[in-house]
Structure 1
Amino acid sequence: MARHVSIITDSTACLPQDALRRYGITSVPLTVVVDGQPLEEGTEISARSLAEALRRHRPVTTSRPSPETFAAAYRAAADAGADGIVSLHLSAEFSGTYDAAVLAAAQAPVPVRVVDSGMIAMALGYCVLAAASAAAAGGGPDDAVAAAEKRAGGTSAFFYVDTLDHLRRGGRIGAAQALLGSALAVKPLLELADGRIGPLEKVRTASRAIARLEELAVTRAGEGPVDIAVHHLAAGQRAEQLADRLSARVPGLADLHVGEIGAVIGAHTGPGLLATVVSPH
């Protein structure tokens, strides 16, 4: 009898609905709280609405899913026939989502492997897709986890933000504190490393920063097969232009995903975000 491994992730993976449906992946939503009103990411609040709330300086916070929410997702997967579950989530450095999943896994009706991917956005999404592909090919939980970890090991994410204020207020910048003293004079480029967002370079203008973002992505992509995601928040034209340039310059480009970042991550980066995720096969 073939094994059935269910893949579960969270909404910060920014996976398109068709990808979720194709592999039967369950995405557990995080919550954005605007003016004290909790809203589920992806269904009750869009990135565009979030950007408008931030522009109006409305109070915005985020919160993890409860262990009960994960428990319900694990029960549903088991009821649908799963005899094992791999639950892959955003970096534990950013959120208590991983911890909530671990608590729920202890009471799940089938074995659950909970993985701290160390990633966010499509950096997490590509890991989830790698795990789902391994499971669809008949692999067990160990195979799915190994595929996700291999993908994570080669994946890079770079970020341009108009200001560090949102990251500073949310306590999400870690070592990027070093940039705050000169934040008004530079346009910071940040990198995801060891599960944290940290400073990479300081560039004097937005145009130079975006050009540098492009160069970093092209260099990391190399010549082999690679997937690239371009994320933005309220910067659609910039994102499309960057994606067009990357499409022309990366010879091994397999998949190019362009889309707004999720509301939860957007709450901590602010409008104007432009990011690239480079994930070699």
Structure 2
Amino acid sequence: MARIAWVTDSTSCITQEEAKKLGIHIIPVSIFMENQIYKDGVDITPDEFYSKLETVTELPKTSQPTVGEFSDFYEVLKQDYDCAIAIHVSEKFSGTINGSRLGAEMAGFPVHIVDSKIISESMKQLLLKGMKLEEEGLEAEEIASVLRETANHVKGYVCIGNLEQLRKGGRLSGAGFLVGNLLQIKPILTFDDGSLVPFEKIRTLKRAESRVLSLFEEAAEQNGAYGVSVVYSGSSEKAEDWLHLLKEKYPNITFNLGQLSPAVGVHVGAGTLGILWFEE
């Protein structure tokens, strides 16, 4: 059988320790923050990033891996592997997939690219599913096909806890930000075919978080759910409360907890909380 390299980018929120243990190869996103350049997950951890984020005066920025970086990355991998399966952040969020594809062509290395149509822990769940299929004897092309179909069933709701971060990034007008703050409006976003789109606006953070939970519960009871992840940025306290509550209510479902990486945190800020899963 072909030797398959498992690849992802750092928006998957997989730590270097996890990657080493699982045999996953991560290409990092670059973070530009206060005149410094950090490689996500390599030069800066999520905890370090969110701590720095509290005091920055200028919005951090991200830069996807370049085609040259991908080419070098794949040149190394092709010394030990016959091909790769690369699971990347949604193509509608970033040009990472195109960079990966072009880099693989430059390196002359066969890479089966999967658009996860999402971010974070769900990318990890796709990787784990793919690795299991490899153990079962499926070829790389077959595995990639199954994972692409699985990605079509990813769902999620996210409660943005920090409107200021959205305003700084130009994703919310100044007037909208002011009204949102005065009325304590908290937007809930959802994933729609790889795009993150507005779903509802709820007054007060507490009500918005309760609504996200109820949306998941409705979906899980109607369509089933697996590979469920509670994701957060900054403090883990509320996410851990959610995890405990969900585990008690749904003992037959496996739940995961994941902190959003700096590459994601740049865009959503601290205080974001969400649930991601796959429909059965």
Q: Is TM > 0.5 for Structure 1 vs Structure 2? A: yes
Higher deviation after alignment, 199-208 or 237-246: 199-208
In structure 1, the partner of 2:148 is: 149
Q: CA separation in 1, counterparts of 2:243 and 2:140?
A: 34
Q: How far did 1:280 drift?
A: 4.2
Please give the per-residue CA displacement for 1:150-201, whole angstroms capped at 9, x wherever unaligned: 321222121111233423544668xx99x76853221111112122211111
CA 189–126 in structure 1, closer or farther in 2 if over 3 Å, else same? same
Structure 1 residues 251 and 88: alpha-carbon distance in aligned structure 2, compared to 1, 3 A threshold: same
Where in structure 1 are there 5+ consecutive unaligned residues?
Answer: none
2 CA distance for matches of 1:172 and 1:136? 43
* 1:262 positional shift: 0.4
**Aligned in 2, Cα 1:200/1:181: closer, same or farther, shift over 3 Å?**
farther
Moved more, 208-217 or 138-147: 138-147
In 2: Cα distance, 1:77 partner to 1:221 partner:
39
**Aligned residue in 2 for 1:74:** 74
CA distance in structure 2 between the aligned counterparts of 1:118 and 1:153, rounded to whole angstroms: 7
Deviations 1:47-78 (A, max 9, x none): 22222332213331111112222222222222
**Partners of 1:83 and 1:159 in 2: CA distance:** 38
Q: Could you say if the C-alpha distance between residues 126 and 167 of structure 1 is closer, same or farther in structure 2, counting changes exceeding 3 Å?
A: farther
Query: SS at the partner of 1:226?
Result: strand
- Partner SS state of residue 142, structure 1: helix
Instruction: Find the aligned partners of 2:146 and 2:228 in 1 and give their Cα distance.
Output: 18
Separation in 2, partners of 1:148, 1:104: 21
Separation in 2, partners of 1:78, 1:220: 42
Aligned to 1:243: 243
User: What secondary structure sits across from 1:79 in the alignment?
Assistant: coil
1:97-156 CA distance string (max 9 Å, x none): 112112101123331122322211112222222222222322222222122123212221
Output aligned runs, 1:1-281, within 5 Å: 2-16=1-15, 20-21=19-20, 23-59=22-58, 60-80=60-80, 82-170=81-169, 182-184=179-181, 185=183, 186-222=185-221, 224=224, 226-254=226-254, 256-280=255-279
In 2: Cα distance, 1:147 partner to 1:99 partner: 21
Please list every run of 5 or more consecutive structure 2 residues that lacks an aligned counterpart in the other structure: none
Q: Any idea what SS the aligned residue of 2:78 has?
A: helix
**TM-score after normalising by structure 1:** 0.88
Q: Which moved further from structure 2: 219-228 or 45-54?
A: 219-228
Give me the whole-angstrom Cα distance separating, in 2, the residues matched to 1:203 and 1:124: 28
Runs of 4+ in 1 over 6 A off after TM superposition: none
Counterparts of 1:180 and 1:201, CA distance in 2: 16
- CA distance in 1 between counterparts of 2:77 and 2:219 reads 37
Equivalences, count: 276
Q: Which amino acid aligns with 2:112?
A: R
Task: Determine if contact 2:226/2:277 at 8 Å carries over to the other structure.
Answer: yes
Aligned CA RMSD, in angstroms, stands at 2.5
Measure the CA separation in 1 of the matches of 2:206 and 2:170.
27
SS of aligned partner of 2:152: helix
State the alpha-carbon separation in 1 of the partners of residues 57 and 43 from structure 2: 17
1-structure distance, mates of 2:69, 2:46: 22
CA distance in 1, matches of 2:17, 2:145: 24
Residue identity opposite 1:117 in structure 2: S
Shift of 1:18: 6.2
Cα contact 2:121–2:258 (8 A) shared by 1? no
Question: Which segment drifts farther, 243-252 or 132-141?
Answer: 132-141
Residue identity opposite 1:97 in structure 2: T
1:75 counterpart SS class: helix
Contact residue 115 and residue 148 of structure 2 kept, 8 A: no
Question: Structure 1's 170 and 144: CA in aligned 2 closer, same or farther, altered over 3 A?
Answer: farther
